Structure 1
Amino acid sequence: MRLVVLGLSLSSSWGNGHATTYRALLRAFAARGHAVTFLERDVPWYAGKHRDLPDPDFCRLVLYPDLASLEDWRAAIATADAVIVGSYVPDGVAVGRMVQEAARGVTAFYDIDTPVTLAKLERGDEEYLSVDLIPGYDLYLSFTGGPTLDRLEREYRAPAARALYCSVDPDAYRPMDVPHRWDLSYLGTYSPDRQPTLERLLIEPARRAPDLRFCVAGPQYPADIAWPPNVDRFHHVSPNDHPEFYASSRFALNVTRSDMIRAGHSPSVRLFEAGACATPVISDRWAGLADMFVPDEGEAAGEIILADEPDRVLRALRETSEERRRAMADAARRRVLSAHTAAHRAAELEAHLLDARERRSAARAVVAEMAS
């Protein structure tokens, strides 16, 4: 299969979670024998030292300077077996129109931000997707599963909405035997709607427990945040250094954006990356999470700790024995390796694209029969 992807970024992981998601998925997709071309808008904030994968070995990466220059790739888009447009692509509506006009193969929208996208559409904000474009895509691949898929088909007239969760490359994310530097760490770009949860589940526990060590890694945090002295800060951690970062923490924190909490069924890539590295996760709650990872609430060790308040976080950090923590870590890793690797997602993507192609062929056959 010849696949063309127009995504936010493959070349730079700075300040976005799309890059690691695309890298894991497309590497595994290429390993299934497919040819992939990734078209990425060349923007200054992902250039220079922030471009940490300028020459991927699993696909062809093309940096195009502006919307007009995308016309140079119209033939590749037209002849591809499938074309995927991702969320947050600059000029995404215009890109989507061009793809739907030119492509002769399957067209899909891959939304790595589904609840945010739908909230924007409800406000009339069509930054990268418009309501009228959705029915024109053969397939809506969604970061979010559950009831949102029915809503996409019912309210937005998506011909087929399918969950395609984030995943992890287990060859890149593995356990490491390094000393623990922190009791709890968080890896993520600043977001205003995540910050209250970060305050509640990491910053406040740090204030109450000066003897414990914490870390927050990620860019764009405001300068006026009052970090307790026992919270280390890093402005960026390269994906190559993620495994060591997770391994250096007794626990990793997962914090979910408010739109995604309301929608539920929106697992962050952090859950899979930390799990693959055998670092147990403390997470906020949302519908569907307990269906993916077994909460640590019984006599036997579970796969994840769910927390609402600082006291629950501190109990986990202070009262979880090392034996139980290791049992949780092993259980979480087994869960990830059994269902949430990039190989699993690549197989799902292939199946979704082939199903969409069959539906297109069937629909065209019906039209041809009616015309005759």
Structure 2
Amino acid sequence: MKIAFYGSSLLSSYWNGAATYYRGILRALAERGHEITFYEPDAFDRQQHRDIDPPPWARSVVYPATESAMHDVLAEAGRADVVVKANGVGVFDRELLEGVLREARPDALTIYWDVDAAATLDEMRADPSHPVRRALPDLDLVFTYGGGPPVVEAYRGFGARECVPIYNALDPETHHPVAADPAFACDLGFLANRLPDREARVEEFFLRAAELLPDKRFMIGGNGWHDKPMPQNVRPIGHVGTAQHNAFNCTPLAVLNVARDSMAEVGFSPATRVFEAAGAGACLITDAWEGIEMFLEPGQEVLVARDGQDVAEQLAALTPERAEAIGQAALRRVLAEHTYELRAAEVDATLRETKARLREVAA
């Protein structure tokens, strides 16, 4: 099928945490024979901080962040068999969603792909005129990158015809074990952009742990942390491009995952960082959230912490030997059960089943 995908960015992870997810899913769909065109606006300096060149498995269209350019790229939606609007493009989100529904062919599948479902659902609860809420009756399908049964039930309650979680996963060609890099040497590494709905949890799980372990070395990567007060044993290193993620994950004794508030509350929402770390064979410590055992086994393949005290205690007791064993167990699990190849098979099956069902209804 020809798939037109309107998203934040395929080419840059700069202030764009969904990049790894988009790349993994869409590359795997292309390998299954689908033709992908990804439309992204030239906004937020992302094009000045590209991580990859336009890939051979997708046609990349970067358009000026103007209303006229948006209408130009929307006009191409009529050529596609499947038209996807992802959330969080950041420029003309409402207009893009309305345009997708207007420009898609009558026989094309129209999909809303939500990479921040918990936050979107909160917005819809607060605003009866929310554009996604208004569009749901006209959309054929909603994909989310997590959320499990609570998100599926909520979306159906708002009128979605079908909602299917397609979880984050591992692309083993992109994220894999590499040699350690002295530039990332520390006891605990944490990689995430500074966002309002994550900051308090970072203060608890990362900065408090650093305060409790003044003799340990901590490192934080990501945008926005440069002016955040931190203990002296924490080193902020700024944006870390995806090409450096393997070394960042492989070098520290352990790496930390901290969910955003909404994702932690809903559960069943492993961040891309979880699979990147596991794919690199890293020893991962994650904050506690419901559903973690669906992806990694606590105590064997991942360490789970309820608060900063737990993080500090687990890190203090962690030996290189145990860290290695946990990391290798996690790597085996994600290679067997959580690759983008497997996720793309789910997407492909859902697209074909939905197409067939709509043909039957129209007949």
Question: TM-score, length-normalised on structure 1?
Answer: 0.91
Structure 2 residue aligned with 1:214, among 208, 212, 218? Answer: 218
Structure 2 counterpart of 1:10, which letter?
L
Structure 1 residue aligned with 2:349, among 327, 348, 351? Answer: 351
**2:163 maps to what in 1?**
161
**In the TM superposition, what whole-angstrom CA distance separates every residue of 1:258-295 from its partner, at most 9, and x where no partner exists?**
11122111111111000000002111111111232111
Pair 1:184 & 2:182 matched: no
Deviation of residue 332 (structure 1)? 0.7
Structure 1 residue aligned with 2:315, among 311, 314, 317? Answer: 317
Tell me, in whole angstroms, the C-alpha distance in 2 between the residues paired with 1:177 and 1:46. Answer: 29
Tell me, in whole angstroms, the C-alpha distance in 1 between the residues paired with 2:47 and 2:323. Answer: 40
Structure 2 counterpart of 1:250, which letter?
L
3-state DSSP of counterpart to 1:146: helix
**1:26 maps to what in 2?**
26
**2:231 maps to what in 1?**
228
User: Could you tell me whether the CA contact under 8 Å between 2:216 and 2:233 is conserved in 1?
Assistant: yes
User: Could you tell me whether the CA contact under 8 Å between 1:252 and 1:274 is conserved in 2?
Assistant: yes
Deviation of residue 329 (structure 1)? 0.7
Q: Cα distance 1:139–1:239, how it changes in 2: closer, same or farther (>3 A)? A: same
Aligned length in residues:
356
Deviation of residue 331 (structure 1)? 1.1
Deviation of residue 75 (structure 1)? 5.2
User: Could you tell me whether the CA contact under 8 Å between 1:146 and 1:264 is conserved in 2?
Assistant: no
**In the TM superposition, what whole-angstrom CA distance separates every residue of 1:321-350 from its partner, at most 9, and x where no partner exists?**
332221111111111111221111211111
**1:299 maps to what in 2?**
none
**In the TM superposition, what whole-angstrom CA distance separates every residue of 1:138-186 from its partner, at most 9, and x where no partner exists?**
1100122222102211x21101100011222111111123267111111
Tell me, in whole angstroms, the C-alpha distance in 1 between the residues paired with 2:277 and 2:153. Answer: 30
Deviation of residue 364 (structure 1)? 1.0
**2:68 maps to what in 1?**
68
**2:260 maps to what in 1?**
257
Question: TM-score, length-normalised on structure 2?
Answer: 0.93
**2:54 maps to what in 1?**
55
User: Could you tell me whether the CA contact under 8 Å between 1:120 and 1:126 is conserved in 2?
Assistant: no
Tell me, in whole angstroms, the C-alpha distance in 2 between the residues paired with 1:51 and 1:322. Answer: 35
3-state DSSP of counterpart to 1:158: coil
User: Could you tell me whether the CA contact under 8 Å between 1:67 and 1:95 is conserved in 2?
Assistant: no
* Residue range with higher mean Cα deviation, 353-362 or 74-83: 74-83
Unaligned regions of 5+ residues in structure 1, if any? 297-301, 366-372
Q: Cα distance 1:91–1:183, how it changes in 2: closer, same or farther (>3 A)? A: same
Deviation of residue 2 (structure 1)? 0.8
- Alignment map for 1:332-347 (pairs within 5 Å): 332-347=330-345
Q: Cα distance 1:210–1:157, how it changes in 2: closer, same or farther (>3 A)? A: same
User: Could you tell me whether the CA contact under 8 Å between 1:178 and 1:247 is conserved in 2?
Assistant: yes
Q: Cα distance 1:135–1:25, how it changes in 2: closer, same or farther (>3 A)? A: same
Pair 1:172 & 2:174 matched: yes
Q: Cα distance 1:183–1:125, how it changes in 2: closer, same or farther (>3 A)? A: farther
Q: Cα distance 1:341–1:67, how it changes in 2: closer, same or farther (>3 A)? A: farther
Structure 1 residue aligned with 2:124, among 118, 121, 124? Answer: 121
Unaligned regions of 5+ residues in structure 2, if any? none
**2:276 maps to what in 1?**
273
Tell me, in whole angstroms, the C-alpha distance in 1 between the residues paired with 2:209 and 2:178. Answer: 26
Pair 1:199 & 2:203 matched: yes
Structure 2 residue aligned with 1:149, among 147, 152, 177? Answer: 152
**In the TM superposition, what whole-angstrom CA distance separates every residue of 1:37-83 from its partner, at most 9, and x where no partner exists?**
001112142132x1233422221110122233233345531131111
**1:305 maps to what in 2?**
303
Structure 1 counterpart of 2:175, which letter?
Y
**2:289 maps to what in 1?**
286
